[in-house]
Amino acid sequence: MLNIVLFGPPGAGKGTQSEKLIEKYQLNHISTGDLFRKHLSEGTELGKKAQKFMDDGFLVPDEVVIGMVEDKIKSETDAKGFIFDGFPRTVKQAEALDNVLKATDTPISGMIALEVPFEELKKRLLERGKISGRVDDQSEEKINNRIQVYLDETLPVSEYYKQQSKFNGINGVGSIDSIFEKISAVIENF
Ligand code: AMP
């Protein structure tokens, strides 16, 4: 079983690369951002809990995120593996994920971290905001906040996987296909 954590700041290209990886390796996709946006559009209780955090670019509390991911993993019993996109975003989430996977005896194979300079991220997110209509992509202030949250709360997650010798950094600037090739080469060694 191939379980991949696709890691990186907002705008690094995780969603784009996930789509290609899912197809190539036949993995199930767990994007916590997409799951929250689905809850929001359906007006569920969980969506209501998450909305304010998301709109302002803060993290949704760990217990809400972890419960949602746990349910999703447990409901997809026929998966050949998972690609985790935008999760884990805190060390507490990473520990919870390891615990859930321990129960199924299918640990994380490795982390792939897309590395992109912050000026490039800001440019990409403002461009995406014009097309996607995502509230959190609409202003430089919100984008700066999300990058700051990434630095403060999410970056330590890469240390967590470094300690397990599962960290793989990839330059996330370049063509979609060239980055995909680099990611695939890393995965072949998992
Ligand atoms: P994304 O689509 O991954 O950029 O996520 C959009 C927003 O959803 C984030 O800014 C957070 O508010 C929330 N979110 C997504 N994934 C997580 C997570 N793993 N932990 C906490 N909040 C999350």
User: In a mutational test of the pocket of ligand 1, which residue from 31, 36, 141, 151 has the highest number of ligand atoms less than 8 Å from its CB?
Assistant: 36
- Measured from the CA of 31, which atom of ligand 1 is nearest? 3
CA distance 83 to 30: 6
Cβ–ligand 1 contact at 118 (below 6 Å):
no
Count the neighbouring beta carbons within 10 Å of the beta carbon of residue 112: 26
Is CATH 3.40.50.620 the classification given to domain 2-187? Answer: no
Please report how the helices 45-56 and 32-42 are oriented relative to each other, as an axis angle in degrees rounded to 10: 120
Q: How far apart are CA 34 and CA 46, in angstroms?
A: 13
Contacting residues for 24 by C-beta, under 8 A, at least 6 apart: 184
Indicate which residue's Cα is closest to atom 6 of ligand 1. 33
Positions annotated as catalytic residues are 14, 89, 128, 134, 146
89 lines ligand 1 (CB under 6 A): yes
**pLDDT of res. 129:** 92
Residue 110 has a pLDDT of 98
Q: How far apart are CA 127 and CA 134, in angstroms?
A: 11
List the domain boundaries for the chain.
2-187
Say if residue 97 is exposed, middle or buried (CB neighbours under 10 Å; 0-12, 13-18, 19+): buried
The pTM for the full model equals 0.96
Indicate whether residue 85 lines ligand 1 (CB < 6 A).
no
What's the pLDDT score for residue 104?
A: 84
Ligand 1 atom with least separation from CA of 53: 12
Task: Please give the structure tokens belonging to residue 171.
Answer: 């330059």
Instruction: List beta partners, residue 28.
Output: 82
* Residue nearest atom 5 in ligand 1 by C-alpha distance: 33
Distance 81 CA to ligand 1 centre (A): 21
Which residue, chain included where needed, has tokens 């760990």?
Answer: 62
**Which residue do the tokens 């919100």 mark?**
142
Q: What is the 97 CA–ligand 1 centroid distance (Å)?
A: 16
Q: Over its length of 190 residues, how does the chain's per-residue pLDDT go in tens digits? A: 999 999 999 999 999 999 999 999 999 999 999 999 999 999 999 999 999 999 989 999 999 999 999 999 999 999 999 999 999 999 999 999 999 999 888 999 999 999 999 999 999 999 999 998 888 998 899 999 999 999 999 999 999 999 999 999 999 999 999 999 999 999 999 9
Scored b (16 or more CB within 10 A) or e, 42-62 reads eeeebbeebbebbeebebbeb
What are the residue ranges of helices labelled H in 45-90? 45-56, 62-75
In contact, 161 and 167? CB cutoff 8 Å: yes
Residues 6+ apart with CB under 8 A from 23: none
